[in-house]
Amino acid sequence: MSVLMIIPAHNEEMNLPLVFADIQENFPEADILVINDCSTDDTVSVIQSHPDVKYLNLPINLGYFFAIQTGLKYAVQENYDYLIQFDGDGQHLASEAKRMYDFALKSDTDIVIGSRFLENKGYHHSFFRRVGTGLFKQIIKMLTGKTISDPTSGLQVLKRDVFTPLSKIDAYPEFADANLLIQLIYQGYSIDEVSVKMKNRESGESMHGGIVKPAKYMFKMIYYIIVVFFNNITGMKKVKRS
């Protein structure tokens, strides 16, 4: 089985060397693709100093989720069997991603989410993100009957059957967290969680930092969830299994 770790990066020059070293030590069988989302620091130079790391430069800043979709398209083009979403800020651990990947292979689960909250492993969430995570957990339970403890986790393992349709134009939303999970559950994909350790960001700025960004994210996410729900009950714009 071939597996690709996609790492969206915007101004992560301080974090990427440790991320690469971690993956190469603890998950050496995984290929690495960095999607450089128009960084203005020395991110590209850092990547180029690691010849085993592939990268793509986006011509404009598209944001985290469209950078992820760029990675999905690459994984389809290069015929990978599995894809792992892995952040470039140093919070995700390659050893945990490897455990998730092994679980996905053994269980044949379509989507495996790395959960910070199945067990108490000391991860510290900001107040607004904690509120949002709890809210989206309850919404997913209400709309699908499934409990997902960490619907905003960016550490995920996806089978080819999942990321192939999501790689297509208009198939991947601007924000792809609880709304996309609800859509995929409606489509019959299997989703499971593995309890993982994560570190807090040490350098750089989070895309959900401050007060305005989390508030904007929550309002947009609730809107997208409503759209997904009504699309499902009306049969419109469903993500089709490959």
pLDDT digits (tens, 9 = 90+) for 129-139: 777 888 999 99
Neighbours of 194 (CB within 10 A): 21
According to DSSP, the residues that pair with 33 across neighbouring strands are: 6, 54
For the domain bounded by 3-234, which CATH number is listed? 3.90.550.10
Q: How far apart are CA 113 and CA 150, in angstroms?
A: 8
Q: Which two tokens stand for residue 204?
A: 């750089």
Q: What is the mean pLDDT of residues 157-180?
A: 89
Q: Is 240 left (phi over 0), alpha (psi -120 to 50) or beta?
A: beta
Q: How far apart are CA 104 and CA 124, in angstroms?
A: 27
User: Minimal CA–CA distance to 115: which of 185, 7, 23, 198?
Assistant: 198
pLDDT at 240: 54
Percent of the chain with pLDDT over 70: 89
User: With bands split at pLDDT 50, 70 and 90, how would you rate the model's confidence at 234?
Assistant: confident
Is residue 208 pLDDT above 60, yes or no?
Answer: no
Is residue 204 pLDDT above 80, yes or no?
Answer: no
According to DSSP, the residues that pair with 113 across neighbouring strands are: 156, 193
pLDDT at 47: 97
pLDDT at 41: 95
Instruction: List the single range of 11-15, 75-79, 90-94, 217-221 with lowest mean pLDDT.
Output: 217-221
Q: What angle do CA 225, 184, 179 make, to 5 degrees?
A: 20
Mean pLDDT of the chain: 89
